[in-house]
Amino acid sequence: MSRIILKFFGFLFSWIAIGSIMGLLALVAVFTIYGKDLPDYAQLANYEPPTLSRIYSGEGALMDEFARERRIFTPIDEIPDRIKQAFISAEDKNFYEHGGFDPVGIAKAIYEAAAHGGRLRGASTITQQVMKNFLLTGDRSGERKIKEIILATRLESTLSKEEILELYLNEIFLGQNSYGVTAAAQVYFGKSLEELSLAEIAYLAALPQAPSVLHPVREKPRAIARRDYVIGQMLENGYVTAAEAAAAREEDLRTVQSGDLPSARVAMPPRDYFTDEIRRELSASLGDEELFTGGLTIRATGDPDLQTGAARALRDGVEKNDRELGVYRGPAAQIDPA
């Protein structure tokens, strides 16, 4: 009897071993096939993101901005640790431990998809997201996922974790035409990164999942729920205290979009023909691509206060001249002040 049992377990072990070897060989074959002709990931070491260009007055006051994608590049050492911790907690809590992809995270995502049905979600690490955003398409095919994992492991051997995080935090789309955390902080809260509260940071970290679904006005309850989830993850990972987490959860979601906070745009004078003429001249001499993506700092001769006074004087002078010549025709129309 014991001999039969030993034979059975020996047979079972042999088949398990053969199956494991065959599975491993199949896995190697798949990664070898899909590992060919991939995009050049090494270029990311010298990545220069498209950033907005700014016009300053002769006295250094910000007058206007031009951009296709609102992005303000911020070096990783200037991004507060709490912002890094929030995004890591929300998107990839094992970021500093894995080598580009997270086998445990993938296994959990597969289990969730199998148990509850639907698509595979939550399996992408921050490194994988960098690969998808920079070098691959956004489709959900298995082929793209394999390429994403291969590129992620290669990137981890080329760049440090902080360099990868810098790429991610400056490139990630966070809604409202804002790319990267610095632009998003201005767009949603009219603040710099250093001025954000824990609750505001957690809201920004919630957005990569689906910015439109977490709109701070149209989808406020859902946005707050996801924000509070991020706060909970930060607490679980030891980044905040229980008291800090409780206080942040009590905070209302007040944003520029809801009218509760002033927009960063209020610090700039209304756009007028002066900066528009600068745009036309630079577009003609440098091209639209350089102006709208080159991150230019443009020092103009204008002074907003003097410009306003000069425009008023010109308008009054033209009106006075017309009246004296008897050609003034009055206003073209009347607009109800309401």
Look at residue 178 and tell me whether its pLDDT is greater than 70: yes
* Domain presence at residue 258: no
Encoded tokens for 188: 């949603």
Q: Which residues contact 137 (CB under 8 A, 6 or more apart)?
A: 144
Q: Which helix (H) or strand (E) holds 183?
A: helix 181-189
Residues 20-34 pLDDT 10s: 565 445 444 544 545
The reply to whether 101 falls in a domain is: yes
Gap between the Cα atoms of 232 and 199, Å rounded: 11
Query: What number is the average pLDDT over the span 293-312?
Result: 86
Query: Residue 165 and residue 180: Cα distance in Å, rounded?
Result: 11
At residue 316, does pLDDT exceed 50? yes
Do the domain assignments include residue 167?
yes
Q: What's the pLDDT at 173?
A: 92
Tokens of 208: 């990569």
Whole-number pLDDT of residue 159: 87
Residue-wise pLDDT for 57-95, tens only, equals 888 888 888 888 888 889 999 999 999 999 999 999 999
β-partners of residue 247 are none
Task: Identify whether 55 is part of a domain.
Answer: no
CATH code at 123?
1.10.3810.10
Contact 255, 219 (CB under 8 A): no
pLDDT at 6: 58
pLDDT at residue number 219: 95
Question: Is 119 within a domain?
Answer: yes
Asked if the structure places residue 237 within a domain, the reply is no
Element (H, E) at 122: none
Q: Taking all residues of the chain, what is their mean pLDDT, rounded to a whole number?
A: 82
Tell me the residue length of the chain.
Answer: 338
Note whether residue 116 is domain-resident: yes
- Is 129 part of a structural domain of the chain? yes
- What is the residue range of 121's domain? 95-172
pLDDT > 90: what percent of the chain?
41
> What is the phi/psi pair of residue 54, to 5°?
-125, 145
CA distance 320 to 240: 66
What pLDDT is recorded for position 256?
95
- Per-residue pLDDT, 143: 66
pLDDT at 155 over 70: yes
Most confident of the ranges 116-125, 153-162, 328-337: 153-162
Contact 267, 65 (CB under 8 A): no
Highest-confidence segment of 101-105, 110-114, 140-144, 193-197 = 193-197
Non-local CB neighbours of 165 within 8 Å, separated by 6+ positions: 76, 84, 87, 88, 95, 126
Q: State mean pLDDT over 223-233.
A: 97
Domain total for the chain? 1
Entry pTM: 0.74
Across the range 315-337, mean pLDDT stands at 84
Residue from 43, 96, 138, 111 nearest 238 by CA:
96
Element (DSSP H or E) covering residue 9: helix 2-34
